[in-house]
Amino acid sequence: MANPRDPSAAPFVVQRNLVDQVVDYLTEAILASRFAPGERLSEAGLAAELGISRAPVREAARLMESRGLLVSRPRRGFFVRTLDVAELSDVFDLRIGLERHAFERVMTRFDADTEQRLHRQISRLCEVAAGDDEGLKIEEDLAFHRLVFELADNARLARAFDDLSFELRLCITLITRTHETPESIAASHWRLLEALKSGDPQRCRDEVDYHIGVARDSVIERLAEHAGVSRG
Amino acid sequence: MANPRDPSAAPFVVQRNLVDQVVDYLTEAILASRFAPGERLSEAGLAAELGISRAPVREAARLMESRGLLVSRPRRGFFVRTLDVAELSDVFDLRIGLERHAFERVMTRFDADTEQRLHRQISRLCEVAAGDDEGLKIEEDLAFHRLVFELADNARLARAFDDLSFELRLCITLITRTHETPESIAASHWRLLEALKSGDPQRCRDEVDYHIGVARDSVIERLAEHAGVSRG
DNA sequence: CGATTGCCGACTGTCGACAGTTTGTGCCGA
DNA sequence: TCGGCACAAACTGTCGACAGTCGGCAATCG
């Protein structure tokens, strides 16, 4: 599998094609709110702006549509995804379902190496949680949960989380910043690790529900504020 | 919703673009095993075969890649997805996670209308289960589970199942036919409905685990037979 | 003055073409 | 006979262009 001559192996020097570059560009722009939610994106306009043809732009947009960052309307083009409270709630509810399953799988194969890797990731999270880079906090938080899915040893399950993670980023970055303190972020994740160590499925499940529930409520609350502000 | 004057309603005359037609054509061909697993699909070849240009073929292939029916390798093109036992097991494990969550949600909002709709769908399943159309059996079986996700009232959760369902069809159609009897298929689904009615979460979860587990084991068993046959 | 109809601009869906890359093949040397 | 190298064929990634369609605007009619 790890044989360098394996033709299916990924190349060492990743030759980034235009599509991937456009995806990164658009993803970063949307998550940084440089495109307003609901804004229409013109294929030709973007292509001209980036100095390329429409083909890679179109392909990148289709990929981002499957990731839930853009929506397409036939013959109308692509629009930046907007999320109402119901959709947002659905996203976090699905996340609860996926994480419950992932944590349960990790618990059944919990060992010293698992604990060490999770421990290290929480430490990284604690480091950035003390700083001011909100984007970095989000990424390290997601990285912890991504690690859980990796340790759950189900590639398809991990991909389901990856698919959802783009929408999660969209949810989270809709709000400007988390109001959680570095201490509460750290404590919340330590409790998740403790629950895994305990081997108690019910406790682990409750902890996951609480953890995701807090994140959901926080985002919904902020969205309500935003909506109120934008209306008033 | 059903108001004909609703501007957001779907148009009566659906103008199917080439991409959708190609997706249907390729999906049907793959699930009917007219393309061998692992077979390389040439964009130009398909375009010529269908009498269209490469652009819609390429776009259709990308969509099917996101659905897990094709895989693409950079500069190599598209290949029909192959599933080994590990991947297959992952797919059904994710299905268990999603269905547990969906059934739990349905249970919390179970009412007479819910029961009636599920009842009707099982009746339809029983009708076709007695016949010889294996493809129809699969579709009605999936339709029951799709209905559960619809009743779970979470669009994102339902979409996750829809995404997975293409891979499920790929798994199921890899084997030529189910060896389950019409009676066992019916009984299995009636038990799921009874579990929902009981309002007992643990019973419902156990029933779901058993139901999906049987399907998984059946597919894995058949895949092992196939592998044995194709090797010997 | 409000509603309807026809027109116009902008844009998507689709097409054919070119260049760079990868794979397969045949030749040459050991 | 076998391994390495070069050549050639096929294919993908990308490009520019055209036609059909959609939404908006203005002119027209009641």
For strand D, is any atom closer than 7 Å to the CB of B44? Answer: yes
Which parts of chain B sit beneath pLDDT 70?
1-15, 176-179, 227-232
Nearest CA distance, B194 vs chain A (angstrom):
22
* Nucleotides in D strand less than 7 A from protein CB: 10-17, 20-23
Q: What per-residue confidence (pLDDT) applies to A182? A: 81
Mean pLDDT along residues A143-160 = 98
Q: What per-residue confidence (pLDDT) applies to A2? A: 34
For residue A1, name the pLDDT band (cuts at 50, 70, 90): very low
Checking if the pLDDT of A10 tops 60, the result is no
Give the mean pLDDT of chain B: 89
Q: What per-residue confidence (pLDDT) applies to B3? A: 41
* Residue A115: half-sphere exposure toward Cβ, Cα within 13 Å: 11
B150 Cβ contact list (under 8 Å, min separation 6): B158
A71 Cβ contact list (under 8 Å, min separation 6): A65, A78, A79, A81
Task: Identify the helix (H) or strand (E) that includes residue B25.
Answer: helix B18-31
Inter-chain CB proximity A97 and B94 less than 8 Å: no
Q: What per-residue confidence (pLDDT) applies to B181? A: 84
For residue A224, name the pLDDT band (cuts at 50, 70, 90): confident
Q: Please state, in angstroms and rounded to a whole number, the distance separating the CA atoms of residues A105 and B96.
A: 12
Checking if the pLDDT of A69 tops 70, the result is yes
Question: CA B31, C1' C26: Å apart?
Answer: 39
Mean pLDDT along residues A51-76 = 94
Q: What per-residue confidence (pLDDT) applies to B177? A: 63
Q: What per-residue confidence (pLDDT) applies to B221? A: 87
Mean pLDDT along residues A139-159 = 97
Is residue B164 within 8 Å of B95, Cβ to Cβ? Answer: yes
Q: Which domains does chain B have, with CATH numbers?
A: 18-80 (1.10.10.10), 85-231 (1.20.120.530)
Q: How many A-B residue pairs are in contact by the CB < 8 A criterion?
A: 74
Q: Please state, in angstroms and rounded to a whole number, the distance separating the CA atoms of residues B163 and B161.
A: 5
Checking if the pLDDT of A178 tops 60, the result is yes
* Nucleotides in C strand less than 7 A from protein CB: 10-17, 20-23
Write the DSSP string, A36-89.
-TT-EE-HHHHHHHHTS-HHHHHHHHHHHHHTTSEEEETTTEEEE----HHHHH
Q: Which residues of A touch B82 (CB under 8 A)?
A: none
Q: What per-residue confidence (pLDDT) applies to A181? A: 83
Which of B66, B105, B160 is nearest residue A66 as measured by Cβ atoms? Answer: B66
For strand D, is any atom closer than 7 Å to the CB of B77? Answer: yes
pLDDT tens digits along A84-133: 999 999 999 999 999 999 999 999 999 999 999 999 999 999 999 988 88
Burial track A151-183 (b if 16+ CB lie within 10 A, e otherwise): bbbbebbbebbebbbbbbbbbbbbbeebebeee
Give the mean pLDDT of chain A: 88
- Closest to B16 measured CA to CA, from A75, A72, A58: A75
A216 vs B14, more confident: A216
Q: What per-residue confidence (pLDDT) applies to B5? A: 43
- Closest to B142 measured CA to CA, from B166, B159, B120: B166
For strand D, is any atom closer than 7 Å to the CB of B58? Answer: yes
- Closest to B161 measured CA to CA, from B184, B188, B143, B138: B143
